[in-house]
Amino acid sequence: MIILIGGEKGGTGKTTIASNLAAMRSLEGRDVLLIDTDPQGSANYWAQSRDDENIIPRVACIQKFGKGLPAEVQDLAHRYQDIIIDAGGRDSIELRSALVVVEKVFIPIQPSQFDIWTLNQMDELVETAKSFNPNIQARVIISRASTNPSVQEASETAKLMADFSNLELADATIRDRIAYRKAAKDGLAVTELKPKDPKAVSEMNILYKEVFGNE
């Protein structure tokens, strides 16, 4: 399966989500490739940290840029069971190119009006991509939501999703938990972190099932 974690807004936790999914998928015995298309290279640094600590299973990670991304991804798909692409938070050549070849795109946004405004462009990009990739599925993940139950931003954001014809709201909500930052620092998924944060593990398991289903 080829998955894209991308969007136009920075700081929404794309690399956190991509790296967690890559590690969790590898733990299932799958041959996974994480592709980092962001010049900042955060996913690549995470994978290097994992290698430096000799964490098993290893998660292969490469950096790829430019218009040739679709052809390279299609070639790599013959060698890996799953490819997860981490695209930077902006409208880039890599983001647009990846939409042509992926099966699913997940778009993390923070529960704020500023992030919701960026979905107009993403909705249009997905609609354009469907001309070449008609079976693409696009879902929006509310990410970095408050852990305070009295804050209703996430539910308020969900109500606005009806405005987009090409985007659906993901079932999973990823909240702003320290566990994600601790895991990232050590090249881990939150499911590997000790001691575990049960709430973070539950959130990521829900997302994992939504992304990969029973495959």
Interatomic CA distance for residues 98 and 87, integer angstroms: 9
Query: Is-contact 103 133, C-beta < 8 A?
Result: no
**Tokens at 31, concatenated:** 């041959």
Q: Which residue stretches of the chain are H helix?
A: 14-27, 42-52, 69-76, 93-98, 113-129, 153-159, 178-185, 198-212
In angstroms, the CA 179 to CA 52 distance is 20
Closest CA to 97 of 128, 138, 69, 117: 69
Position of tokens 């590997």? 192
Retrieve residue 4's tokens. Answer: 């894209």
Strand partners, 33: 60, 83
Model confidence, pTM: 0.94
Instruction: Enter the CATH code of domain 2-209.
Output: 3.40.50.300
The DSSP code for 212 is H
140 alpha carbon, distance to own chain's centre: 10
Backbone angle region of 76, left / alpha / beta, with phi > 0 → left and psi within -120 to 50 → alpha:
alpha
pLDDT in single tens digits along all 215 residues of the chain: 999 999 988 889 999 999 999 999 999 999 999 999 998 999 999 999 999 999 999 999 999 999 899 999 999 999 999 999 999 767 789 999 999 999 999 999 998 878 888 899 999 999 999 999 999 999 999 999 888 876 676 677 777 787 899 999 998 999 999 999 999 999 999 999 999 999 999 999 999 999 998 76
